Amino acid sequence: MTFRELQLADETIFNNWIKDWKRETKKVSIATSLDSTFSQYLINLEKMKTHNVNHLVKATNYFFIEDNIIKGGVSARWDLNDHLLKFGGHIGYGVSPAWRKQGVAKQMLKLTLAFYKARHISPILITAEIWNTASRKTIESNGGILENIVNEPDTDKYWCRYWIDL
């Protein structure tokens, strides 16, 4: 198992990951700008590490790869804007539909928290929609303490806001 940023050689496994997601939904977790080529996608990810791109905060994306299969991904956001402070948090993650309920999210979150600890960023805010019991359990198993549940205006979404002290 590796947990790392994508490389140019990962194009095939990345495309397979996208196909796995699209069998379930049109929205691919943590993947943005999918209308570009893979090399342009990597350039965009690299820019995101040092610049606020498309009104998004600086972030690094890591992928959980095992047996040459991307099983999940994480967006580690190094800052919070107003929206993330209320509804999104420092960390966004998603596990491919085929690999859920196998501990991948728990492992990814644990590995991601180590990056925050190394950068001396604490506490960490992580959110999950109220219906997403699996994500809430993942956050709680990594030390998340529920602060509150908030409604995102003009939506029917309710977010559970958790803090983790490192």
Q: Give the CATH fold of the 2-164 domain.
A: Aminopeptidase (3.40.630)
pLDDT of residue 158: 97
- On the question of pLDDT at 5 being above 80, the answer is yes
- On the question of pLDDT at 48 being above 60, the answer is yes
pLDDT of residue 28: 58
Token representation of residue 100: 């859920």
Mean pLDDT value across residues 34-54: 82
| CA neighbours closer than 13 Å in the CB half-sphere of residue 68 | 3
103, 152 Cβ separation under 8 angstroms: no
Q: 3-class DSSP state for residue 89?
A: strand
pLDDT of residue 36: 72
pLDDT of residue 32: 54
d(CA 126, CA 161) in angstroms, rounded, equals: 6
pLDDT of residue 33: 52
Closest CA to 105 of 68, 71, 59: 71
pLDDT of residue 22: 77
Residue 24 phi/psi, 5-degree rounding, is -100, -40
pLDDT of residue 134: 95
pLDDT tens-digit readout, 7-34: 999 999 998 988 888 777 655 556 555 6
Domain ranges for the chain, please list them.
2-164
CA distances from 33 to 51, 89, 160 (A): 16, 21, 27
Average pLDDT score, the chain: 91
Q: Where are the beta strands (DSSP E) in 67-133?
A: 69-77, 91-95, 124-129
